[in-house]
Amino acid sequence: MSVLLESSSTSAAMRRNFWRGVWRVMKRKPSRLVGAALMIGFVFMGVFGPMFYPNPLPGDPDQITRPPSWEHWLGTDDQGRDVIALVVTGSRYVLLAALVTAVITVVVGTGIGLFSGFKRGRWDTVLMRLTDMKLTIPGLPLLLVLSTVWKFSSAVQMGLVLGLLSWGGVARAVRSQTLSLRERGFIEAARGLGLSTSHIVGKELLPSMAPYIAMNMLIAITGGVYSQVGLFFLGVLPYESNNWGQMLNTAVFRSGALTVPSALGFLLGPLLAILLLTLAIVLVVDAMDEIFNPRLREE
Amino acid sequence: MIAIARRLAGHLARGVVMILVVATISFFIVRSIPGDPVAAHTQKLIEQGMSPEAAEQATRVLYGFQPKGSLWAQYGDYISGLFTFDLGQSVTHAGAPVTDVLAEAAKWTVLPVLAGTLLSFLVGIIMGVYAAIKRSGKLGDVLAISGSLLHGVPQYVLGLLLGAIFATLIPILPSDGPVDILFEPGFNAGYIGSLAEHAVLPVATYALSAYGGWILAMKSSVVTVLGDDFILAAELRGMKRSIIFRYIARNAILPLFTILALSLGLLLGGAVFIERIFNYPGLGKLLLDSITMRDYALMGGAFLLITVAIIVANILADLFYSVIDPRVRSGEEVSA
């Protein structure tokens, strides 16, 4: 009993130290706090944002494609709707699809990378050839061609397709991590003890790769945002619901934002949202890098 | 030399397999499009008042393959056509061979991509050296963050921002197509000047979007070289900073040349956005137009050509790597 208590109190202490370390890393560069705050803001926007606005958004025929003003900070769209309201209500589709993309990318990529790196041999060769092939076929042109067959109608479907097309990089990276980890002492010891493969992979390999996988997940979220917004921007997908890519498409090709200054706010709204999201993720990944790689810390 | 030849043969074989795979993908995607495009075209002609036989004949001429016959026979025709560069005919370009349409579009993609890549390479590696040397100072921080941001932001965001700033807000640069139609095409000052003026924004977008990657790659490469003994020796011998700088740059730059080939391939794949934004009649725009116009032979051809370009870039990158890195040249597979 006392042994149990002792071990739980040391793990609690370790956890406290970890969070103190996190706080120290975050505090050293204020930019990282900004990144974390932005990130929380985006989550909030995606989950609760649409609740603050009526659905559908009211348009005003007298306010079509207006430049920024006090009433509409980023102007209005071609139906007289407020651009900021459009960005907020459009965020849910974009962020949900990106989240699904990232989860699938990371789960499939990690699974294949772990299996391939741990098993080695024939399966490894086959899987890696497949991965290389996937990495070589250019993603965007393939998506464009696929858009003639698939309709990506909901955010979840969109995320599913994007995720299934983008696990290649993660698989390669996880495989090389696995290859280097499996030669380390603690894995060899576990093998020597005769522990099962599922135990070694689940309890020994995965935890030591968790931070790395988490970072890949964040990066995959930006990838998911970029490709779906890009697809909607190019105009190859049918208009399903309001989202950032569709706003870009309408702003540029219907309202002529690259020639008419009054449509600029309409264009800048979604662009600003994408830039801020990228900034948030870059800053948070930078902080995570230092939290999980203590060697990077300059004391 | 034999080792390189063997590598080349291996790569070529793999490249041909890849091309066949991509060709197969595009063939079956076109055939699985809901609403058979060939039947739809025949139907349209009949509705326009043609007799069914004439309509079928006209469709056959246009699409360049027998609409009847088994799927596998069509597939065989398609693949054997590939080897003679016969990709069928474009519906939207008055039945011109797809190969000709692609060749015409390719130059509008290749030249801006090349110009943008070389520009960003030159600026990026110089900035990368500074980012590495000053990495614990303010300048290094700013360079590294700007590198990650530019590297992270998608091409179309950069393109749209540049367009919004320099074509709409301060209208000093054109964003509508490759050249003013006022000028007579040919070798005259007006035409060439107009070409150059219209190329500024697309080339700048290519350059900016690649630049972040160069800074980051060069920075990490320089940091590795900085730890090498010969730099320490040079510093101890009291060599001038500028000479040490040159030592560092020369040694750090080699691995980047291979990425150069890869990034050329990548930019070709991403050209769709920039060509759509700035209305450039290159391969990406061709692919997009062929999708909206339902010109499937052209769509398959453009997709295939972009992929082939990327495969070739990969092979070149790998060969280049084995030429500059003696450890690879010795014949052992290092990269496996």
pLDDT per residue over A165-205, tens digit each?
888 889 988 898 888 888 888 888 887 888 887 888 888 88
Q: Are A174 and A260 in contact (CB under 8 A)?
A: no
pLDDT beyond 70 at B37: no
> What is residue A296's predicted lDDT score, i.e. its pLDDT?
59
Helices (H), B1-97: 2-31, 37-47, 52-63, 71-83
> What is residue A229's predicted lDDT score, i.e. its pLDDT?
92
**Residue contact A234–B288, C-beta within 8 A:** yes
Lowest mean pLDDT among A19-23, A165-169, B277-281: A19-23
> What is residue B36's predicted lDDT score, i.e. its pLDDT?
64
pLDDT beyond 70 at A148: yes
Q: Residue B222 — very low, low, confident or very high, per pLDDT cuts 50/70/90?
A: confident
Amino acid at A130: L
Percentage of chain B exceeding pLDDT 70: 91
B262 touches chain A (CB under 8 A): no
**Residue contact B164–A145, C-beta within 8 A:** no
> What is residue B249's predicted lDDT score, i.e. its pLDDT?
77
pLDDT beyond 90 at A99: yes
Domains of chain A from N-terminus onward: 21-53+70-296 (1.10.3720.10)
Residue B311's Cα: distance from chain center in Å?
Answer: 11
Phi, psi values for residue B97, rounded to 5°: -60, 140
CA gap B269, A142 in Å, rounded? 10
pLDDT beyond 70 at B35: no
Which of B160, B284, B291 is closest, CB to CB, to A252? B160
- Chain A residues with CB within 8 Å of chain B CB: 31, 133, 136-142, 144-149, 222, 226, 229-230, 233-236, 248, 252, 257-261, 264, 267-268, 271, 274-275, 278-279, 281-282, 286, 298
Q: Residue B115 — very low, low, confident or very high, per pLDDT cuts 50/70/90?
A: very high
Distance from the A43 Cα atom to the nearest Cα atom in chain B, whole angstroms: 20
> What is residue B334's predicted lDDT score, i.e. its pLDDT?
41
CA gap A218, A204 in Å, rounded? 23
CA gap A281, A222 in Å, rounded? 8
Which of B18, B154, B167 is closest, CB to CB, to A133? B18
- The mean pLDDT value for B7-22 works out to 85
ipTM of the predicted structure?
0.82
pLDDT per residue over B237-268, tens digit each?
877 777 777 777 777 887 787 778 777 777 77
Phi, psi values for residue B89, rounded to 5°: -120, 150
Rounded (10°) angle between helices A139-146 and B296-324: 160
Residue B26: Cβ-neighbour burial (10 angstroms; 0-12, 13-18, 19+): buried
pLDDT beyond 60 at B336: no
Q: Residue A295 — very low, low, confident or very high, per pLDDT cuts 50/70/90?
A: low
Amino acid at A49: G
**Residue contact A141–B161, C-beta within 8 A:** no
Return the residue of B nearest to A249 by Cα. Answer: B277
Q: Which residues of chain A neighbour B175 with C-beta distances below 8 Å?
A: 258-259
Tokens 């390669």 found at: A172
CA gap B164, A112 in Å, rounded? 43
- The mean pLDDT value for A9-30 works out to 76
Does A56 sit behind a cis peptide bond, omega within 30 degrees of 0 on the bond before it? yes
> What is residue A102's predicted lDDT score, i.e. its pLDDT?
94
Distance from the B157 Cα atom to the nearest Cα atom in chain A, whole angstroms: 6
Distance from the B276 Cα atom to the nearest Cα atom in chain A, whole angstroms: 7
**Residue contact B272–A234, C-beta within 8 A:** yes
> What is residue B162's predicted lDDT score, i.e. its pLDDT?
92
Residues B284-296 as b/e (b if ≥16 CB within 10 A, e otherwise) read: bbbbbbbbeebbb
Domains of chain B from N-terminus onward: 1-84 (no CATH), 98-329 (1.10.3720.10)
pLDDT beyond 80 at A27: no
Return the residue of B nearest to A265 by Cα. Answer: B164
Q: Residue B325 — very low, low, confident or very high, per pLDDT cuts 50/70/90?
A: low
Would you tell me which residues 268-287 of chain B have a C-beta closer than 8 angstroms to some C-beta of chain A?
Answer: 268-270, 272-273, 276-277, 284, 287
Q: Are A147 and B293 in contact (CB under 8 A)?
A: no
> What is residue B123's predicted lDDT score, i.e. its pLDDT?
92
pLDDT per residue over B76-103, tens digit each?
888 888 888 777 777 777 778 888 889 8
Lowest mean pLDDT among B30-34, B131-135, B229-233, B276-280: B30-34
Return the residue of A nearest to B157 by Cα. Answer: A271
Q: Which residues of chain A neighbour B272 with C-beta distances below 8 Å?
A: 140-141, 144, 234
Whole-number average pLDDT of chain A: 83
> What is residue A235's predicted lDDT score, i.e. its pLDDT?
86
Distance from the A226 Cα atom to the nearest Cα atom in chain B, whole angstroms: 6
End-to-end CA distance of chain B: 20
**Which residue has better confidence, B109 or A69?**
B109
CA within 13 Å, CB half, B249: 17
Phi, psi values for residue A196, rounded to 5°: -70, 155
Phi, psi values for residue A257, rounded to 5°: -65, -15
**Which residue has better confidence, B56 or A100?**
A100
Return the residue of B nearest to A296 by Cα. Answer: B136
Q: Residue A95 — very low, low, confident or very high, per pLDDT cuts 50/70/90?
A: very high
Q: Are A102 and B267 in contact (CB under 8 A)?
A: no
> What is residue A105's predicted lDDT score, i.e. its pLDDT?
94
Helices (H), chain A: 2-28, 30-48, 83-119, 121-136, 139-146, 155-164, 168-181, 185-192, 197-199, 206-234, 244-249, 264-292
Residues B173-185 as b/e (b if ≥16 CB within 10 A, e otherwise) read: bbbeebbeeeeee
